[in-house]
Structure 1
Amino acid sequence: MDLLPLRYFQVVARHEHISRAAAELHVSQPSLSRTIARLEAELGVPLFDRQGRHVRLNRFGAAFLRRVDRALGELDDARRELADEAGEQRGTVAVASETLLTLIDPLTRFRAAHPGIDVRLYQSSAEVMWQRLRRGEVDVCLASQPADPSLETTEVLREEVLLAVPLGHRLAGRTSCHVEELAGEPFITTSPGYWQRDLTDRVFAAAGLTPTISFECDEPGVTAYLIRAGLGIGLIPEMARRLAPHEPIAYLHLQAPTCHRVLSFVRRREAYLSAAVRVFREHVTESLRGGRSAR
């Protein structure tokens, strides 16, 4: 069995849409459809239920995909391991994170120090990150939320999360406050599935309250800009204050024992950790612990 049809099958299974899969693979839709049809003929069972260009994995396809992911993942790991054994200072690192701002400064210095290693970044919610990791689409995730116990987690940084308010706000002159004092305040946070929203909901729930959400976004780093504009208040990691001490925002300690975040690298336990990934992970860890990253 050729490997190319298996690669094509993976992409079609992920998109469950022929034209989108063809666009990603840079092949024509008819060619892709013929490749999948030949694979099904070779296996003797249909892998998809079809409705025009839309396809949906059936029970045969779902079972086959689990095996294909495992087999191709092993082959990819073998290729990376051989490259490491040959001492080649090159490779690719695929990283998913809830916010890309955390990685901008470390990545800039990493590329300067390791020009032969290509880094690809993907931004997504925690659940989508875990899906990408299990499918082998990314090597590691930089996460601010607990991962499934089946995944391996390595802590990078633990820090307090502060309450940020615009200058002129009634709390701006304070050094700390309780969650109960924030009832009814317009909160700026991320969409569900991102760490800031999860933390906001959890802190308020512990106090028996529900936050009043005025703005939602999918980039945690945008929160500070909206707060600075006077559009509401929100939770910001201590790292942000340290890196931008002159930001026109007032920071307070929130009297809540769970108001902190743990930044960690997450990976599949069984996956081979290439030299490129190891070097990247060590570089980012040192950078973040040294306080030289972006938000």
Structure 2
Amino acid sequence: MDLHALRQFQVVARLEHLSRAAEELHVAQPSLSRTIARLEGELGAPLFDRAGRLRLNDAGRAFLRHVERTLGELEAGRRAVADIAEHGVGTVRIASETFLTLTGPLAAFKRAHPAVEVALHQMPAEQMGRALRAQEVDLCVASQPVPAEGLEAVGLLDEPVWVVTPLGHPLADRESVSVAELAEQPFVTTRTGHWQRRLLDRLFAAEGLAAPRIVCEGDEPSATAILVAAGLGIGLIPDMARRSATRAPVAWIAVDGSACRRTLTLLRPANAHPGGAARLMHAALTGWDWSAGPV
């Protein structure tokens, strides 16, 4: 089974007409008929119904879906190689609210593509849409919703977010806690605009509570657990950090209800023509097992 036969099958399947397919492919019809027959022989099943007009059958439709994906991936690979040959290995520019989220897939990507340069930009979600549309970055990984106008979004991960406390905290032995029970607690969190802060504010507002008591706020979400472990207060940490081998010594407590969650989304311009490095990174991020957590 060769690529030449797959491309010919794709045209015949699209047109469902041998003579027109042969004309489009610039081959003789008997030769095209032999190619399709040989392909069916290799697969062990007919791909077309031949009673009257040529029609793609169920097996043909199933095979066509795989052929289209295969040829599409090969074309993407050809474009990536052409891009590298013309412009060098290239650079991919990624924006994220926090870099801890990306450590696992970035490490794997650099092992697979050591010559590709990765440029990281820390950026709040509210700036991501503008940066993508202005082509200042190629990809964004957001932990909160971003206006989708002109953007293509792929969901990467939906995970619970935990309350973390110092080990000696009165809540440390609890399996779960309600949002109302957190009303008077001192919080270590991120600045306004970051996803943890928006989630915290949203949880309190949904319960009709006053604004949370913030005792420490910063720009790097990954520092929250370290500051909590030091005894400054409690905080909200995503499940991914709980699975990190380097996690801080804190107690992890579930939050009652279904609202305390984070959704991780990969964004790129909808109608752009990304370079080879950006396409490779997009494939790497969408293919990554996000349940594995950070390295």
Task: Name whichever of 144-153 and 159-168 sits farther off.
Answer: 144-153
Q: Does 1:184 align with 2:184?
A: yes
Shift of residue 283, structure 1, vs aligned partner: 2.0
Shift of residue 117, structure 1, vs aligned partner: 1.3
Structure 2 counterpart of 1:221: 222
Q: CA–CA distance in 2 between the matches of 1:87 and 1:215?
A: 47
SS at the partner of 2:288? helix
Counting matched residue pairs gives: 215
Q: CA–CA distance in 1 between the matches of 2:232 and 2:103?
A: 26
Report Cα offsets for 1:35-82 as digits up to 9, x if no partner: xxxxxxxxxxxxxxxxxxxxxxxxxxxxxxxxxxxxxxxxxxxxx999
Structure 1 counterpart of 2:24: none
Shift of residue 134, structure 1, vs aligned partner: 1.8
Conserved? CA contact 1:106–1:292, under 8 Å: no
SS at the partner of 1:170? coil
Q: CA–CA distance in 1 between the matches of 2:83 and 2:246?
A: 43
Q: CA–CA distance in 2 between the matches of 1:118 and 1:244?
A: 27
Shift of residue 275, structure 1, vs aligned partner: 3.0
Structure 1 counterpart of 2:63: none
Conserved? CA contact 1:164–1:233, under 8 Å: yes
Gaps of at least 5 residues in structure 2 are: 1-75
Structure 2 counterpart of 1:118: 117
Conserved? CA contact 2:240–2:293, under 8 Å: no
1:85–1:115 Cα change, 3 Å: closer
Q: Superposition pairs for residues 1-295 of structure 1, below 5 Å? A: 84=80, 86=82, 88=84, 90-150=89-149, 151-209=151-209, 210-244=211-245, 247-294=248-295
Conserved? CA contact 1:159–1:238, under 8 Å: yes
SS at the partner of 1:133? helix
Report Cα offsets for 1:157-185 as digits up to 9, x if no partner: 11000111110111000000101101111
Q: CA–CA distance in 1 between the matches of 2:92 and 2:130?
A: 17
SS at the partner of 1:148? coil
Q: CA–CA distance in 2 between the matches of 1:180 and 1:246?
A: 27
Shift of residue 257, structure 1, vs aligned partner: 2.0
SS at the partner of 1:88? helix
Report Cα offsets for 1:267-287 as digits up to 9, x if no partner: 111112333222212323443
1:257–1:124 Cα change, 3 Å: same
What amino acid is the match of 1:185? Q
Q: CA–CA distance in 1 between the matches of 2:136 and 2:148?
A: 19
Conserved? CA contact 1:147–1:153, under 8 Å: no
1:100–1:288 Cα change, 3 Å: farther
Task: Name whichever of 86-95 and 209-218 sits farther off.
Answer: 86-95
Query: For the pair shown, which has the larger CA radius of gyration, 1 or 2?
Result: 2
Structure 1 counterpart of 2:8: none
Shift of residue 139, structure 1, vs aligned partner: 0.6
**Backbone CA RMSD of aligned residues:** 2.2
Shift of residue 124, structure 1, vs aligned partner: 1.4
What amino acid is the match of 2:276? A
Percent of paired sites with the same residue: 46
Conserved? CA contact 1:98–1:124, under 8 Å: yes
Gaps of at least 5 residues in structure 1 are: 1-79
Q: With structure 1 as the length reference, what TM-score do the two structures score?
A: 0.68
What amino acid is the match of 1:266? L
SS at the partner of 1:86? helix
Q: CA–CA distance in 2 between the matches of 1:247 and 1:191?
A: 21
